[in-house]
Amino acid sequence: MKVVPATVLALSYAIGSAFARKYPTSGLYNVDADVGLNDVKGTVAAFGDFNGDKFTDIIALGDDQTSFSIYLWDHALWKFSLLPTATVAIAQTPQPFIITNIVPGDFNHDGRLDLLVMGQADPVRNPKGELMMRIYLGNIDSGWDPEYVTVPSSTPQQPLTFDYNGDMQTDLLGYAFEGYQAGVSPLSVWRNVYTPGVPGKIFDVVPMNFTGEPGPACSLADPHSSAFVDLNGDCLADIFLTCFDAAKNQHTYVVYVNNKDAGYSFGVSGLLPEGAGQVTFADIDGDGAIDLVVPACNAEGRCSIYVYYNQQIPLCTSKDQKECRKVSNLCTADPGFSFSVDPDHSTLPGALVRFPLDNVLPEGQQLLLTDTAFKGTLPVTVHVGDYNLDGYPDLLVVSGTPGNNQKPSSATLLQSVLCTSNGDGCLPSAVTAKRRTFVKVTEGAGPLNSVQDVRAAAFLDLDEDGTVDIMLLRNANGQQAAGRAITMIHNNYFNDAFFLKTLASNGVSPTWSGQHDTKPAKAGAKPFGVNYPGATFKFTVLDTSGIKRANQVAQYPSSTYSKLTLPYSLFGLGRTNNYVEELFVGVTRNQPEHFTTYSGVIPNSQLIIIPYQAEDESRLPVGSAAAGTAAAGAGAGAGGGGAEAFAAENKGGPSEWTLELYIRPGDYVPWVFVVVATAIAILAGVVVGLNWMEKREDERERKKALHIINFDAL
């Protein structure tokens, strides 16, 4: 019964889109002149929703790395605008503070965007020096609270945001600077102990204690690419650490699985390839498990993309299939998960795909793994996003000449394709296992491939319209070390596919009546729990051939080294003739049920899940308007550019969580109305015409009958 309305939705969207395309042809378009970032003196440091309007804003770092600003997205003007009240210049006396990273998050659990600012006194001449940290608490009316909060310092390995004790508050994991001894000191936790009414303290530093059997020794790499992401399939985020063994000159990884109240215990470990860069995370093959994407360049300068496939119990797709996971068990842990790869790839067939870049990158270029034109350590990350909405993540890589900012450097878009036996970097075992590899996108990609001074690139969704756009950070003349020219590339590929956009908050009250509220929030603003790390989404869809597949997406898995991670998850559904049948949403709350399921989700929509539970209001003062309530947030369509919304609410555990679904009325809606109204008018005309013809024929038959003479009666 769901197929018919979903098909009507698809037809309406397709018909309307034909009239609503902003550009005449399918492809990428440079929109620098439209988005209002030409005058930014600095670079983009992070993304977040500062004012709670469901549009992604930009946190910009000054070119001298001593100031930061907020640029808000204006849906009506289709551009970013500077918010002057949120601009902060950090004093350089009595001690210099050169900003090396900015981490958006909600550190006092009030639903507003705060910033954790990291910096060093002299990151150029003393890169191993103390990493100082401070938090600026957000206020949508005035920008920031007048006084920042000082955070205990760490070593240069930047701390990772995660949830230590399952209370939905943001903690940090790293090495405390005080008393640190290399190779001896254990990891430390900056445990969030914020208490309303007690200013000046947010974190306590305590040792990180892992439970169970100890894992292999791990000294965090510098830089590292650690993350907080679900890797064993239970919709509960685990700890992924990247380590460096100086004696063996090897990069390794270690995974500690989340056992809720039982803490974190060792799961798996393994080697990373020679010259490995920053690890990113995505479900590359659409099997419902997060895989590892590792860029690497060896000593000879040969670069490749390695995909370490997550070996988990697959989804059941037939009645006769054994050793499979039922749909109802999508959020059940697989204790045997593994990324293990042996040298000849025979033990775990298809566990690894190596995609060589020799014939893909421009001639004479190799992957850029570090941006050297920056005060401090700044790795260049390979970004993951589904640009064509086919349900399989694509990659965005940056290449150039390492250590030389004057020679050409560019960004390349790589499309995910199924492994074949045509020499595409896939071993026969990977072809048999239906793994995926990549090809360079050239058709319609001229505006991207023509830029020759790229230092970094990232995906984002301009104007929240459900398409994955591209941001390029380029060399900027006349600016200091961190200065970048910002180029926005709008994605106008004509994709016959659907998308889904999800965001899980950190569980603050959906009414935004918290401990700091002295007056109503601005109209349209809501506490969406910005940049909450560790949320997990799993969903199932039917493709056009009727085969069900599962996908997994992680929300904000890593915040270190200005990774430009988005605060939400945007993924393609491919070509489907149905609703999203099951959507599983998991958070890091320590309770018997940490996830919930939603059925029949409409494609091309934005879902906001607020895992608020009434017991969390123990943090609020007695008499607070939010105490003991769980408002559904109905009628929340004030944000999102005129979106429509509904909210679902039940009581008890995850059933108490709030779901808000937004369907954005795009420019095509009037055209859909015109098409539907015209069709109705034509059909009505046909009905009226046929009815008139039938009545006329009946009248002729009646008159003819009157002239019949009954000769028998004579």
> What pLDDT score was predicted for residue 200?
81
> What pLDDT score was predicted for residue 500?
94
Rounded to whole angstroms, the Cα distance separating 13 from 248 reads 56
Specify which residues 539 forms β-bridges with.
551, 583
> What pLDDT score was predicted for residue 702?
85
Tokens 């007056």 found at = 519
**Average pLDDT across the chain, whole number:** 85
Q: How many CA atoms lie within 13 A of 514 on its CB side?
A: 24
Tokens 């790869």 found at = 341
Angle between helices 669-706 and 3-20 (to 10 degrees): 110
Contact at 8 Å (CB) between 261 and 236? no
pLDDT band at 548 (very low <50, low <70, confident <90, very high): confident
Contact at 8 Å (CB) between 490 and 462? yes
> Which pair of tokens denotes residue 610?
């607020």
Rounded to whole angstroms, the Cα distance separating 73 from 556 reads 20
Q: Give residue-wise pLDDT tens across range 90-144.
A: 999 999 999 999 999 999 988 889 999 999 999 999 999 999 999 999 987 788 9
Rounded to whole angstroms, the Cα distance separating 241 from 616 reads 30
The CA–CA distances, whole Å, from 336 to 233, 307, 340, 507, 522 equal 10, 19, 11, 31, 49
Tokens 């997990």 found at = 536
Rounded to whole angstroms, the Cα distance separating 217 from 192 reads 26
Helices (H) and strands (E) in the chain, counts: 4, 40
Q: Give residue-wise pLDDT tens across range 593-620.
A: 999 999 999 999 999 999 988 764 434 4
- Which candidate, 281, 234, 277, 279, places its Cα nearest to that of 259? 234
Rg of the Cα atoms in the chain: 28
> What pLDDT score was predicted for residue 247?
85
The CA–CA distances, whole Å, from 111 to 63, 78, 283, 341 equal 29, 26, 29, 42
Q: Give residue-wise pLDDT tens across range 350-398.
A: 678 899 998 999 988 999 999 988 999 999 999 999 999 999 999 999 9
> What pLDDT score was predicted for residue 303?
94
Q: Give residue-wise pLDDT tens across range 416-451.
A: 999 887 666 687 878 888 889 999 999 999 999 999
Rounded to whole angstroms, the Cα distance separating 510 from 525 reads 11
- Which candidate, 538, 486, 554, 552, places its Cα nearest to that of 279? 554
Contact at 8 Å (CB) between 338 and 240? no
Enter the pTM of the model: 0.87
Q: How many CA atoms lie within 13 A of 434 on its CB side?
A: 5
> What pLDDT score was predicted for residue 635?
32
Rounded to whole angstroms, the Cα distance separating 704 from 303 reads 91
